[in-house]
Structure 1
């Protein structure tokens, strides 16, 4: 399903670079950002990294878009804030998840959220089959895991539920005409909402500019670059084709986890991820996550 945001005013890439290749670049950027964040957890904690990621990405978008030039009603601020809070909480629980389970596993489990939204929204045999396959994949990934990994899987499921809320609220914000301005403002509001979860490590981040820059960089890699690329890709691809490409995301996350974090999936985990990938391909109605 198309991202809730209308085309972003980015300059179009050269025509020789295919939209599929652009999408892959965005996917790699997204999970390189998550892997970068993972390397910061020991020093700052997942909550602080999530807070700085959301605040940093929101600040970049606001600086670029300058949303103060438009007129904001109270209702518009409320919807943007609700959307941004869902997104910020999703990022927070995603980071809490990847503290405990491999990156590819967490991304695969997270997909249950939007697949469930599609299944209950369309009530077709195909969407029901996709949901059943996704659940089977989650059972393979988490059902036989140790308690710590099961907690991580639970956090992934919560992130997936918040992702479903992000989809619903995101479409509402997009229909109101707020576009990317709503994303930037919403992320700043969301950063305030998750502030208590990440405030403890802000002193350490402020004392080490390199850590602070790395957190902001994770936000740019995970949010700003993939969203910008998506807007270019969706102008050049049919909606169904774009949705099908979403099946690349768990595989990309697994590959990044393998190469960047040395997270080698077991056979059971690989089969679980494959089941979720198949569910996404059958479903074809997911929006890109922000993990």
Structure 2
């Protein structure tokens, strides 16, 4: 039971840090824009992870390098699409759409009808939370879905790299790749005199909370938790995003959004209870 509790605590802490960081980063949009927040976020993450982990890049083999390079591309694409979606459609809806990525992993890894029922229940919760209509922002929704596809890739690549590289070498190296890709954006903002003050501070905090903490925590969790269970339990992200949006961004929730949250929480509780009943297997 202890490994299960530890794995769940790690996942919830990671999700909370991610959504609080996203809400904090949204405060920098007016100054540096979503692309600027992503650039600073990745640079901060690289500045923290590389000295702390010190991955020996010269010893990486090709089977270690190719998923690391892909993960770096996923980091940059996922963050840019998500933050742009947050700017267009709000934190709660953007993260709800992004959650479809882990949900897809849960569906792909389903082995029993109960697994499928958990994923389907989470999907119902997502629909009730969003209630899409004709006035929906299609580009924003499309970006949220792109972020979801990247999140699915992030889960699978992180799990693969967890078996090929020790410690936090994979996220540290991938973050360096992502930071290099985002460096031109940061240089352009610096030349324009926009990379300073509150905007820079908010973006830097987002880098710590939404990159450094979850990258490390998710790698640890994915080494213990099956991908399908990870995907279902991580449906808590829309809940935390809605709460972070309410508390930090003043985004008031409607009754249908609270109903969607209740459904998602119920699905999570059932998934956790079933894992305990099956013996808490996390490998």
Shorter-chain TM-score bucket reads 0.7 to 0.9
Match of 1:77 among 65, 68, 74: 65
Alignment of 1:3-42 (within 5 A): 26-42=14-30
Tell me if the contact between 2:44 and 2:204 (Cα under 8 Å) persists in the aligned partners: yes
- Match for residue 186 of structure 1? 174
What do residues 70-99 of structure 1 show as CA deviations (whole Å, max 9, x unaligned)? 722344222211112112211111111211
Q: Which segment is superposed worse, 90-99 or 249-258?
A: 249-258
Match of 1:66 among 50, 54, 62: 54
Tell me if the contact between 1:205 and 1:212 (Cα under 8 Å) persists in the aligned partners: no
- Match for residue 147 of structure 1? 136
Report how far residue 159 of structure 1 moved. 0.9
Tell me if the contact between 1:105 and 1:273 (Cα under 8 Å) persists in the aligned partners: no
**Mapped partners of 2:251, 2:48: distance in 1:** 31
**Mapped partners of 2:150, 2:195: distance in 1:** 32
Q: Which segment is superposed worse, 214-223 or 199-208?
A: 199-208
Alignment of 1:58-207 (within 5 A): 58-68=46-56, 71-140=59-128, 141-144=130-133, 146-148=135-137, 150-194=138-182, 200-204=188-192, 207=195
- 3-state SS in 2 of match to 1:151: helix
Report how far residue 221 of structure 1 moved. 1.2
Residues 50 and 231 of structure 1, relative CA distance in 2, 3 Å threshold: closer
Report how far residue 233 of structure 1 moved. 8.1
Residues 234 and 109 of structure 1, relative CA distance in 2, 3 Å threshold: closer
Gaps of 5+ in 2: 1-5, 275-283
**Mapped partners of 2:156, 2:219: distance in 1:** 19
What do residues 232-275 of structure 1 show as CA deviations (whole Å, max 9, x unaligned)? 8899xx848x9576454332221111111000121223333444
Residues 90 and 260 of structure 1, relative CA distance in 2, 3 Å threshold: same
Gaps of 5+ in 1: 1-17, 286-291
TM-score, structure 2 normalization: 0.77
Report how far residue 281 of structure 1 moved. 4.7
TM-score, structure 1 normalization: 0.75
Residues 108 and 76 of structure 1, relative CA distance in 2, 3 Å threshold: same
- Match for residue 7 of structure 1? none
**Mapped partners of 1:119, 1:167: distance in 2:** 14
Residues 145 and 46 of structure 1, relative CA distance in 2, 3 Å threshold: farther
Number of matched pairs: 264
What do residues 206-253 of structure 1 show as CA deviations (whole Å, max 9, x unaligned)? 652553343222111112234455678899xx848x957645433222
**Mapped partners of 1:272, 1:206: distance in 2:** 39
Residues 169 and 250 of structure 1, relative CA distance in 2, 3 Å threshold: same
Report how far residue 19 of structure 1 moved. 8.3
Residues 245 and 138 of structure 1, relative CA distance in 2, 3 Å threshold: closer
